[in-house]
Amino acid sequence: MTACAFCGRENDEASRFCMDCGKPMSVSTPVSCPRCARTVEEGMPFCGHCGTRVITTASTSTCGNCSAPFDLGVDVFCARCGTRVGERVSVEDDVDGLARSRTRTTGPRLSLLDESGGVAARFSLDRGDAVVGRGDADIRFDDVYLSPLHARLEVRDGELWVRDLGSRNGTWTFIDEPTRLCDGDVMLIGSQLIRFRRLGYPGPHPPEADATRRMGSVTPSADVAVLEQ
């Protein structure tokens, strides 16, 4: 038996990867991620910091739809026909307060909340990115208010970002502390949609620079923005 240098778990001497944490059992030479330049252990397919693929070598299999070859553990969709052949997300079911993992979780986690605010399931972004939606997405929900491909989550420089993919109902974040508004920000207050728009004054140039009058009220005289319903 050989102990894993990362987690200490005993493994068979012939094991290439630890059965508990998945780290390579052999001494590895560090490599640099081509995107963020962080150190990545040799043999790890994705950067643990930004999720960028750092190696492409893997065992292969064939697509069940068109029989085209693909790399196991690397490819998510078949390059020939587009059939999903892999997953970017690991899922944990939370039953009676006990998280039961379907597969090993390694990336940032998201929690699905039930009606009472409790955790119903957890999703781990194993590859640093995922698409949420009702259709052929990485995180799928049978929700008629979700678009088939609704929003994309992505790790960038150690931060998790969300981008709406042109969904019908939009993507919203809850705020529970003071937040600075930028021009064009849209707020959902109850069922009311409110847009924040700057008036452009005061700005980098004095109001008399081009003789253009400012829209908005004159009381107070320092109006700089409006809220549009």
pLDDT tens track of the chain, all 229 residues?
Answer: 777 776 677 777 777 777 666 667 655 456 677 667 777 665 566 676 766 666 555 577 888 888 888 777 677 788 888 888 778 788 876 555 554 544 455 578 888 888 888 888 888 888 888 999 999 899 999 999 999 999 999 888 888 899 999 999 999 888 889 999 888 899 999 889 999 988 765 555 555 566 666 666 555 555 678 889 9
Token readout for 220 is 């107070």
Work out the angle at residue 103's Cα, subtended by the Cα atoms of residues 99 and 107, and round it to the nearest 5 degrees.
85
Q: Residue 133 in contact with residue 150, Cβ under 8 Å?
A: yes
Residue 109 belongs to what H/E stretch?
Answer: strand 109-113
32: how many CB neighbours lie within 10 A of its CB? 12
Distance between alpha carbon 130 and the CA centroid of its chain, in Å? 5
Query: Which of 134, 142, 108, 137 lies closest to 123 in space, CA to CA?
Result: 108
Cβ neighbourhood burial of 20 (10 Å; 0-12, 13-18, 19+)? middle
pTM equals 0.56
